[in-house]
Homo-oligomer: A and B are copies of this chain.
């Protein structure tokens, strides 16, 4: 392999592709970026077995060929020579990187050991605005489980039904769900995408109103944007049916200013940070919600004017969960809907109710 390319192009591409390299020290080749030179194009690929990213860079190819190099080191090094034209040349044992008048030499691995990345994924497809997809990802991925006890919960469920799309995630303590419209689809489908894949897609796609296509086939998905292709394994198995756990009727609903609520909870959270559950209390009665904490160091007690419907209630919750939820809502007011103090409650926008967070309360000595 021998080729000439621009440092900036190469550095930009390597930085994108290296995200798919394994960081787990299981198989050396999964920590690599594969370089393939062919037809005046350098193709960079990386995969950790779950996610794969492929990107093309314009190059003057003098000798076709392919080789694997350590992704982390290669990306750090290329970043530091991005100002130069770069000549890459392999000699069977190593790869020479020539820039300015210097020559650096990197260890290589055979490209034969690199996994085949399947990009032939196009059986089904749905399209939606890039910004909508990015919004769904931001709204849901942080509620995915992070442990391995139920792997499917490490992903977000996408359900396409007619022109409706609904994205849902949950971790056993909270659930996020958001719905909207697709611009088109090849039919109804249900897939579960790893949260990590979705976060990489979010980083890969620049904000835009343009449509993006999401392709699905054989338990794999593919998204492409500007010379970059991302594919990922999907999770298989039964996802929780949200209809079974989101209550339809509520004993108490509260409408309150999002900004005031956020500020009160953040102040209350100061004194419970670091404590298990970061416990705060809501006292709903009459026309107010009283946000309070009672830790050894300090006691906050802040009444907030609210539009309350239904029964009075005293309920304990994890301040982190509720702050995360409020941060992802964007209207002036939020609506919270409760049943008993041991039942999950809902937090959502007051007008656009196509998205919501369902949160488990904390059991305390008083209500357990």
Contact = CB atoms under 8 A, between A and B. Distances in A.
B105 A299 contact: yes
A107 B298 CA distance: 6
A102 B268 CA distance: 12
Contacts of A70: 297-298
Contact of A297 (B81, B106, B297, B299): B106
A73 B273 CA distance: 9
Contacts of A12: none
A271 interface: yes
A209 interface: no
Interface residues of A, number: 28
Interface in A286-305: 296-303
Contacts of A273: 76
B298 A104 contact: yes
B263 A103 contact: no
Nearest to A266: B80
Given A298-B107, A299-B104, A271 B73 contact: yes
A297 B74 CA distance: 9
Q: How many copies does the complex hold?
A: 2
A297 B102 contact: no
A297 B73 contact: yes
Given A73-B271, A302-B102, A297 B80 contact: no
A105 to B, nearest CB: 4
Interface string A101-138: 11111110000000000000000000000000000000
Contacts of A76: 270, 273
Interface in A280-333: 296-303
Nearest to A271: B73
A215 B273 CA distance: 40
Given A77-B267, A80-B270, A270-B77, A103 B298 contact: no
A267 B104 CA distance: 9
B298 A267 contact: no
Nearest to A83: B263
Contacts of A106: 297-299
A303 B103 CA distance: 10
18 contacts: A70-B297, A73-B270, A73-B271, A77-B267, A77-B271, A80-B263, A80-B266, A81-B267, A102-B264, A102-B302, A102-B303, A103-B301, A104-B298, A104-B299, A105-B298, A106-B299, A107-B296, A107-B297
Q: Which 7 A-B pairs have the closest CB atoms?
A: A106-B298, A105-B299, A102-B302, A104-B300, A77-B270, A76-B270, A80-B267
Given A102-B301, A102-B302, A104-B302, 14 more contacts: A73-B270, A73-B271, A73-B298, A76-B270, A77-B270, A77-B271, A80-B263, A80-B270, A104-B267, A104-B299, A104-B300, A104-B301, A106-B297, A106-B299
